[in-house]
Amino acid sequence: MRITNRAQRLRVEALLRDIVAQREAEPVTLPEVHAVVSETLDAPIPSAQLVREVMRTLSKGESRFVRIDRDVYAWVGHGETPPLPPAPPHVSDMIERRLSGATLDEIGSLHRLTRERVRQLIAKYGGPSAAEVAELQRVRTEIAERDRRARVEPLIRQALDGGGAMTVSDAAEVAGLTSSETVRYWPIDLVHLRLRPAGNNEERWSDEAILESLREAAIYEFPLTTKAYASLLASGQISGPSVPRIWQRFGNWSAACDAAGVVPGRAVRNNYQSKWTDQDLLQIVRQYLLDPSQPNSAHKFDDWRRQFAPDGPSFQTIRNRFGSWTEVKKRAFVKEENVE
């Protein structure tokens, strides 16, 4: 019996509706539907073009029969979102690269497309947005940072445990790390063991340079007192090391002035004996540095002392004995086995 075109179309439409409805919410493509129709219906076998036309007609007249891409349709429930179309292989590659952190320009260069076209294709097939990519990158960076800290921080702790207080460069050398890594991952609870490297101002003054500074100061002041010398330094009229540095180098002010051939402002009591031993001074420094509520800075020491150790030595006393704050911290936490 000869089947008219209209009858053939109605047969295809009925079968096609059943095929798609049975796979509700699942995308079906023209080749898939045409293959099923060809196997099910008797001759004459409908052409792919006829199946395509019927699918288009159904999508316009049936609200639940939704076109989601070229020659891709799905049967969806009322109010439901149509499923995403399956991504072609080249778009799947774009999405995978985007999720891995590649930029649109990099992907476009690889596939010979503009960045805008890449963005459109990724969006069309459910790929990540720019905000989602940024969030993924943030999470990856955070995880990498946490993992790196977990590996590096124990190395720094081990170096400090073996050598006591030290500079960043020394700790980096012992731990086998770069200085930048050592600074970045220095344990917060061991900040009191971090020494600042000696500045040029402390190291560049030879004995002769110090004596020359005293001679220059004596041109302005006679006799030369520590107060007058410090005032000349502060005003910039002379250049030279601090008074504590001079005391540390020569023992006392009079000895330094005598070596420079300068008359000192007042005699220093050579028989003066401090009531504080070195260990007394270092012990109170350790208490201050280990106080978690304090910033560990030199200029805050006296504030802390007045509150927690009113009978203790002043910062000036400690500095006069040991010199720089870096040297004080180093001595306070030096390991006993390193002390000769």
Sign of CA dihedral 288, 290, 294, 297: positive
pLDDT at 236: 74
Task: Inform me whether the pLDDT recorded for 335 exceeds 60.
Answer: no
Task: Inform me whether the pLDDT recorded for 336 exceeds 50.
Answer: no
Whole-angstrom CA distances from 19 to 16, 32, 40, 64 are 5, 10, 11, 14
Query: Model confidence over 163-214: pLDDT tens digits?
Result: 777 788 888 888 888 888 888 899 988 888 887 665 544 456 788 889 988 9
Q: What is the mean pLDDT of residues 154-161?
A: 88
For residue 162, give the amino acid letter. G
Task: Inform me whether the pLDDT recorded for 262 exceeds 70.
Answer: yes
Query: Model confidence over 305-316: pLDDT tens digits?
Result: 888 888 888 888
CA nearest neighbour of 155 among 185, 128, 118, 126: 185
**Domain at 5-75, CATH from 3.30.420.40, 3.90.25.10, 3.40.50.10710, 1.10.10.10:** 1.10.10.10
Give the number of residues written for the chain: 340
Whether the ω angle into residue 44 lies within 30 degrees of 0, i.e. cis, is yes
Query: Model confidence over 70-85: pLDDT tens digits?
Result: 777 787 776 565 666 6
For the chain, percent of residues with pLDDT exceeding 90: 13
Task: Inform me whether the pLDDT recorded for 340 exceeds 50.
Answer: no
pLDDT at 78: 62
Whether the ω angle into residue 223 lies within 30 degrees of 0, i.e. cis, is yes
CA nearest neighbour of 320 among 328, 329, 330: 328
pLDDT at 200: 45
* Position with higher pLDDT, 211 vs 230: 211
Q: What is the average pLDDT score of the chain?
A: 81
* Position with higher pLDDT, 103 vs 32: 103
> Would you list the DSSP string of 56-70?
HHHHHH-TTEEEEET
CA nearest neighbour of 51 among 39, 63, 88: 39
Measured distance CA(283)–CA(252) in Å, rounded = 24
- 55 within 8 A of 30, measured Cβ to Cβ: yes
pLDDT at 267: 46
- CA 197-198-200 angle, 5° bins: 125
Tokens of 187: 């344990």
pLDDT band at 334 (very low <50, low <70, confident <90, very high): low
Task: Inform me whether the pLDDT recorded for 154 exceeds 70.
Answer: yes
CB half-sphere exposure, 161, CA atoms < 13 A: 8
- 194 within 8 A of 165, measured Cβ to Cβ: yes
Q: What is the mean pLDDT of residues 6-23?
A: 81
Measured distance CA(135)–CA(139) in Å, rounded = 6
The domain ranges of the chain are 5-75, 89-128, 132-195, 201-260, 278-338
- 182 within 8 A of 172, measured Cβ to Cβ: yes
Task: Inform me whether the pLDDT recorded for 116 exceeds 90.
Answer: yes
pLDDT at 322: 78
- 75 within 8 A of 18, measured Cβ to Cβ: no
Measured distance CA(154)–CA(135) in Å, rounded = 29
Task: Inform me whether the pLDDT recorded for 61 exceeds 90.
Answer: no
Coil, helix or strand for 199? coil
pLDDT at 83: 62
Task: Inform me whether the pLDDT recorded for 1 exceeds 50.
Answer: no
pLDDT band at 31 (very low <50, low <70, confident <90, very high): confident
Tokens of 301: 């020491």
Q: Is 159 exposed, middle or buried (0-12, 13-18, 19+ CB in 10 A)?
A: buried
Query: Model confidence over 283-325: pLDDT tens digits?
Result: 888 888 888 787 777 778 888 888 888 888 888 888 778 777 7
Tokens of 267: 């005699």
**Phi-psi category of residue 164: left, alpha or beta, with phi > 0 → left and psi -120 to 50 → alpha:** left
